[in-house]
């Protein structure tokens, strides 16, 4: 089976490409490298020993998207491509609606045009907004509170309407909680551009000496130690959730949402403690005021994915931190090659072979 992976060069995309290739799928990657680097795909080939084709295109370019479907017999699509920074989405909302919603619409139209109706959509727990109760089940009301989360919620609603209009679609909406960690090889991992917004990459950059100290956003939340609680999930467990969803949709039509989380919440201080233990590095921190838009506690009830997809997270917080640290230690500047003088060398052609 050939799987089209949009955003396949990204953090979760590259980890999912590894698992797809190692489980016998063929893949085609589409990426505009706006928030990723071709180097991650070279590493995917290095890990798996398998080659694949990559198209350096933007989903907003419908003709280029159609060409991918003309060139290949695509059996299913995993759609990761999208802008994903909450803070940035508040500053430039139109860019997020254009890129995430319009880009998805074009992809879905082309899929329909070529009768490719198996889709896994990379959604997010952000669609739940500030949950009234935790753990969170898939049937609660969606109440995204920022433009990024609203793009995910809108795309889910577009897909709900599509599936209700045409029962031949098979769609899985995978709502990620907080993906962290890296492949055990240390060859691929999270590589944010600029100062990391997210907790784990910030901590690992402190440990490697790129950042001074962690600012903990608020220690007066109604949690055990006052700091925010989240459901951190190992990125490889997350990748395996996509393969299980792919298997499930071979035998099932219709549309379903699944929480991909561990079902266990950890506070910021607990994550810092776990990282210090596994890395042997002290992480200096200071408490500052809450970050606007942050919520107190958010963690999943992953029972539906366990029941319907036969999937559950297998890796604990220490393994997540150890794998994140191995990636960062082996790649102090991420995928950037230190000798790189200019900004990332964008690919010179639309078509790349990895």
The catalytic site residues sit at 148
Q: Could you say which of 27, 30, 86, 249 contacts ligand WQD (CB under 6 A)?
A: 86
Does 210 bind ligand WQD (CB under 6 A)? Our answer is no
Residue 129 φ/ψ, nearest 5 degrees: 65, -140
Pick the closer one to ligand WQD by CB: 38 or 179: 179
354 by Cβ neighbours in 10 Å (0-12 / 13-18 / 19+) ranks as buried
Q: Could you say which of 17, 136, 187, 268 contacts ligand WQD (CB under 6 A)?
A: 268
User: What would the x/- binding string for ligand WQD be over residues 227 to 246, using CB under 6 A?
Assistant: -x-x----------------
Inter-CA distances, 298 with 135, 139, 181, Å: 7, 15, 19
| Shortest Cβ 195–ligand WQD spacing (Å) | 9
Stretch that binds ligand WQD, among 1-9, 212-220, 320-328, 331-339 (CB under 6 A): 212-220
Residue 1 · residue 77 · CB < 8 Å: no
| Shortest Cβ 353–ligand WQD spacing (Å) | 30
Read off the tokens for 329.
């230690």
Find the binding residues for ligand WQD in span 1-20 (CB under 6 A).
none
Does 216 bind ligand WQD (CB under 6 A)? Our answer is yes
Q: Give the integer Cα–Cα distance in Å for 233 and 180.
A: 6
Alpha helices, DSSP H, located in the chain? 11-22, 38-48, 62-71, 86-91, 93-96, 103-113, 147-165, 199-207, 235-249, 268-279, 303-309, 317-330
Of 48, 74, 35, give the one whose Cα is nearest residue 192: 35
Pick the closer one to ligand WQD by CB: 5 or 180: 180
Read off the tokens for 32.
């505009």
Instruction: Calculate Rg over the CA atoms of the chain.
Output: 19
Alpha helices, DSSP H, located in 166-234? 199-207
* Strand ranges inside 177-221, DSSP E: 178-180, 214-217
User: What would the x/- binding string for ligand WQD be over residues 89 to 108, using CB under 6 A?
Assistant: --------------------
Inter-CA distances, 152 with 49, 93, 97, 178, 183, Å: 34, 13, 10, 15, 26
Does 291 bind ligand WQD (CB under 6 A)? Our answer is yes
User: What would the x/- binding string for ligand WQD be over residues 169 to 198, using CB under 6 A?
Assistant: -------x-x------------------xx
Residue 320 φ/ψ, nearest 5 degrees: -60, -45
Does 331 bind ligand WQD (CB under 6 A)? Our answer is no
Stretch that binds ligand WQD, among 10-18, 48-56, 215-223, 312-320 (CB under 6 A): 215-223
Stretch that binds ligand WQD, among 3-11, 45-53, 213-221, 304-312 (CB under 6 A): 213-221
DSSP category for residue 127? G
Does 258 bind ligand WQD (CB under 6 A)? Our answer is no
* DSSP sequence for 18-84: HHHHHTT-EEEEEE--SS--HHHHHHHHHHH----EEEE--TT-HHHHHHHHHHS---EEEE--S--
Inter-CA distances, 213 with 199, 203, 276, Å: 12, 8, 13
| Shortest Cβ 281–ligand WQD spacing (Å) | 16
CB atoms within 10 A of CB 115: 9
| Shortest Cβ 143–ligand WQD spacing (Å) | 14
Q: Site for ligand WQD (CB under 6 A): how many residues?
A: 19
User: What would the x/- binding string for ligand WQD be over residues 20 to 59, using CB under 6 A?
Assistant: ----------------------------------------
User: What would the x/- binding string for ligand WQD be over residues 123 to 162, using CB under 6 A?
Assistant: -x-x------------------------------------
Residues that bind ligand WQD (CB under 6 A): 84, 86, 124, 126, 176, 178, 197-199, 202, 214-217, 228, 230, 268, 291, 294
């Amino acid at each position: 089976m050939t799987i089209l992976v949009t955003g396949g060069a990204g953090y979760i995309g590259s980890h999912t490409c590894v698992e797809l290739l190692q489980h016998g799928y063929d893949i085609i990657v589409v990426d505009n490298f706006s928030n990723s680097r071709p180097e991650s795909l070279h590493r995917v080939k290095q890990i798996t020993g398998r080659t694949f084709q990559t198209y350096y295109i933007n989903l907003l370019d419908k003709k280029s998207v159609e060409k991918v479907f003309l060139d290949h017999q695509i059996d299913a699509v995993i759609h990761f491509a999208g802008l994903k920074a909450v803070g940035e989405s508040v500053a430039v909302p139109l860019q997020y609606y254009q890129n995430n919603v319009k880009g998805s619409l074009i992809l879905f139209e082309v899929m329909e045009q070529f009768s490719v109706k198996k889709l896994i959509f990379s959604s997010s727990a952000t669609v739940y907004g500030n949950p009234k109760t935790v753990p969170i089940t898939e049937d609660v009301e969606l109440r995204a509170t920022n433009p990024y989360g609203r793009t995910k919620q809108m795309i889910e609603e577009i897909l709900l309407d599509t599936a209700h209009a045409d029962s031949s679609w098979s769609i899985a909406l995978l709502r990620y909680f907080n993906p962290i960690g890296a492949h055990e090889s240390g060859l691929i991992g999270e590589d944010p551009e600029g100062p990391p917004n997210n907790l784990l990459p910030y901590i690992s950059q402190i440990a490697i000496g790129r950042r001074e100290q962690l600012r903990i956003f608020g220690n007066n939340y109604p949690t055990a130690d006052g700091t925010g609680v989240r459901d951190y999930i190992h990125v490889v467990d997350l990748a395996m959730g996509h393969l299980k969803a792919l298997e499930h949709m071979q035998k099932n039509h219709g549309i379903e949402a699944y929480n991909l989380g561990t079902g266990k919440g950890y506070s910021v201080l607990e994550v810092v403690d776990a990282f210090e233990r596994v890395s042997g590095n002290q992480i200096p921190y200071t408490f500052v005021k809450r970050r606007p838009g942050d919520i107190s506690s958010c963690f999943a009830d992953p029972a539906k994915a366990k029941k319907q997809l036969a999937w559950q997270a297998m890796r604990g917080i220490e393994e997540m931190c150890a794998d994140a640290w191995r990636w960062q230690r082996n790649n102090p500047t991420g995928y950037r090659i230190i000798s790189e003088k200019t900004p990332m060398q964008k690919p010179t052609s639309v078509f790349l072979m990895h």
